[in-house]
Amino acid sequence: MPIATPEVYAEMLDRAKQEGFAFPAINVTSSQTLNAALRGFAEAESDGIIQISTGGAEYLSGTAVKDMVTGSVAFAEYARVVAAKYPVNIALHTDHCPKDKLDGFMRPLVKISQERVANGQEPLFQSHMWDGSAVELHENLQIAAELLEECAKARVIMEMEIGVVGGEEDGIVGEMNEKLYTTAGDALATAEAVGVGEKGRYILAATFGNVHGVYKPGHVKLRPEVLKEIQEAVGAKYGKDKPFDLVFHGGSGSSLEEIRQAVSYGVVKMNIDTDTQYAFTRPIADHMFRNYDGVLKVDGEVGNKKQYDPRSYGKAAEAGMAARVVTACEDLMSAGKKLK
């Protein structure tokens, strides 16, 4: 199937909310990790979201270029070609964009999509994330309102974050403090500033103790009931049941019970990065340790070309990551629910 149109993406999110499941949003950094994500979604018979961060976009442009927009465009165009060979719907998304990178990442990409739409084409990406967690809430919402208007012109969905996800991702550091838990007041202020859909569609990363990185179960103190509280507070004011389409960030180390509870409160998208990175790299490490005398020219020998050919370990890495994507689809209950 082709990359999801705005209409198909909206249908994906609506159906997830109505039927009580969520889509894994898989971070990728290369054509091979993209292929692994596509394979995983296809094997799970799940539609899905594939995304790149600022660092991932820069990496995709080449280490000698380091241009986020170039890498993003290359990724999206490549994805359009290869995704068409898979029997699932895929939405393309850009992850965390802080204030200091808006002009070099999100805004130019939204502009490209606006130009494409004006020319009768589909937008380049289906959604973009504005990460205003490092600024005060009033500034976060002011910028969000401006970006939402621009995204609506481009027929793309905006993602925004209120509260702070702890830990570190691509140089964005979230402090471990009370801001790890979004309040009902924060959610009401958000609805007042950007509406509940009438000003343009957005998805909301509200925090409930989330932390980026990898931790053993029990280390991260998640409180999914926070999501229930903000949905009820805003729903009561606006007369809507579960008014927000929620996003779960920093989910590594979460228990299945916590994940399912969050989904029941309106989470439709859960970011997966740390776990799939490991699933990709682990088979490569295994190959290198088992075949060290083939991948290295030990003591002047010639090595074994079949073992140091990147395809030999790349195939294993792709299979390992695809399997982890399948697990994510099963955990979030999107497996077997692709749109027909």
Measure Cα distances from 220 to 20, 176, 233, 319 in Å.
24, 11, 25, 29
Pseudo-torsion of CA 10, 11, 17, 21, nearest 10°?
A: -110
Helix extents (H) in the chain: 6-19, 31-44, 54-60, 68-83, 107-118, 137-153, 184-194, 225-238, 256-264, 274-290, 292-295, 305-308, 310-332
Catalytic residue among 95, 186, 245, 331: 95
Which CA distances in Å does 158 have to 74, 131, 149, 161, 245?
21, 10, 9, 10, 11
- Of 105, 122, 104, residue with least CA distance to 113: 122
Binding residue positions for Zn(2+): 96, 131, 161, 212, 249
Q: Residue 215 corresponds to which amino acid?
A: Y
> What dihedral angle (degrees, nearest 10) is formed by the CA atoms of 309, 315, 320, 325?
130
Instruction: Mark the binding-site residues, compressed into ranges.
Output: 96, 131, 161, 212-213, 249-252, 271-274
For residue 100, how many other CB atoms are within 10 A of its CB? 10
Does residue 67 carry a catalytic annotation? no
What is the spatial distance between Cα 332 and Cα 270, in angstroms, rounded to a whole number? 8
For 101, phi then psi, to 5°, come to: -115, 5
Note whether 250 and 306 are within 8 A (CB): no
Give me the residues paired with residue 172 across strands.
Answer: 169
β-pairing, 23-27 vs 127-130, is unpaired
Q: Which residues are catalytic?
A: 95
